[in-house]
Chain A
Amino acid sequence: MKRFFWPLAIFIPLVGFLAVGLKLNPREVPSPLVGKTAPAFELPLLHQPDKRFAPADMRGKVWLLNVWASWCESCRDEHPLLVDLSKKGLLPILGLNYKDRGADAQRWLKQFGDPYQFSVVDADGRIGIDYGVYGVPETYLIDAAGVIRFKQIGPVTAALLQEKILPLAMSLKK
Chain B
Amino acid sequence: MIPELGHFALIVALAIALVQGTLPFLGVAKKIPSLVAVARPAAQGQFVFVAIAFACLAWAFYSSDFSVLNVATNSNSRLPTAYRIAATWGSHEGSLLLWVLMLSVWMLAVSVFSRSLPEDMLARILGVMGLISVGFLSFMLFTSNPFERLLPAAADGRDLNPLLQDPGMVFHPPMLYMGYVGFSVAFSFAIAALLDGRLDATWARWSRPWTTAAWVFLTVGIALGSFWAYYELGWGGWWFWDPVENASFMPWLIGTALIHSLAVTEKRGAFKSWTVLLAIIAFSLSLLGTFLVRSGVLTSVHAFATDPKRGIFILCFLALVIGGSLTLYAWRANKVSPGGMFELLSRESMLLANSVLLIVACAAVLLGTLYPLFLDALGLGKISVGPPYFESVFAPLMAPAVLLAGIGPLVAWRKGDAADLLRRLRWTAIIVLIAALFVPLLFGRWALLTSFGLLLAFWILGGALAALIVRLRSSTKITSAFAGMLLAHAGIGVFIIGVTLVKSYETERDIRMLPGDTATLGGYGFRFEGVREVDGPNYKAARGTVIVLRDGQTIARLAPEKRVYLVQNNPMTEAAIDAGISRDVYVALGEAVDDGGKEGAWTVRIHIKPFIRWIWIGCLMMAFGGVLAASDRRYRIATRRQDDAANAGATALRSGTA
- Closest partner residue, chain A, to B326 (CB atom): A8
Bound form: Cα–Cα A39–B372 in Å: 30
Q: Does B657 contact A (CB under 8 A)?
A: no
- Closest partner residue, chain B, to A10 (CB atom): B326
Residues of A within 8 A of B569 (CB): 73
Residues A11 and B299 in contact, CB atoms below 8 Å apart? no
Binds A, one of B70-78, B143-151, B327-335, B488-496: B327-335
Of B277, B295, B330, B374, the most chain A CB neighbours within 10 A belong to B330
Bound form: Cα–Cα A29–B372 in Å: 12
Q: Does A89 contact B (CB under 8 A)?
A: no
Interface of A is mostly: helix
B636 to chain A, nearest CB (A): 34
* Residue count of chain A within 8 Å CB distance of chain B: 23
Which A3-29 residues have C-beta < 8 A from chain B? 4-5, 7-8, 11-12, 14-15, 17-24, 26-29
With A17-B370, A26-B297 as known contacts, state yes or no: A1 contacts B315, CB within 8 Å: no
Residues A7 and B330 in contact, CB atoms below 8 Å apart? yes
Residues of A within 8 A of B299 (CB): 26-27
Residues A7 and B311 in contact, CB atoms below 8 Å apart? no
- Closest partner residue, chain A, to B332 (CB atom): A4
Q: Does B417 contact A (CB under 8 A)?
A: no
Residues B327 and A1 in contact, CB atoms below 8 Å apart? no
* Residue count of chain B within 8 Å CB distance of chain A: 34
Residues B334 and A1 in contact, CB atoms below 8 Å apart? yes
Residues A22 and B297 in contact, CB atoms below 8 Å apart? yes
Bound form: Cα–Cα A42–B333 in Å: 73
Bound form: Cα–Cα A123–B332 in Å: 69
Residues of B within 8 A of A17 (CB): 370, 373-374, 377
Which B343-399 residues have C-beta < 8 A from chain A? 370, 372-374, 376-377, 382
- Closest partner residue, chain A, to B276 (CB atom): A4
With A7-B330, A17-B377 as known contacts, state yes or no: A29 contacts B323, CB within 8 Å: no
A92 to chain B, nearest CB (A): 32
Q: Can you sample 14 A-B contacts with CB below 8 Å?
A: A4-B334, A7-B280, A8-B327, A8-B330, A11-B284, A15-B315, A17-B374, A18-B315, A21-B297, A21-B377, A22-B295, A24-B297, A26-B298, A29-B382
**A11-B323, A21-B376, A26-B297 given. 17 additional CB < 8 A pairs?**
A1-B334, A4-B330, A4-B333, A7-B280, A7-B330, A8-B330, A15-B318, A17-B373, A17-B374, A18-B291, A21-B297, A21-B377, A22-B312, A24-B297, A24-B377, A26-B376, A30-B382
A residues adjacent to B (C-beta < 8 A): 1, 4-5, 7-8, 11-12, 14-15, 17-24, 26-30, 73
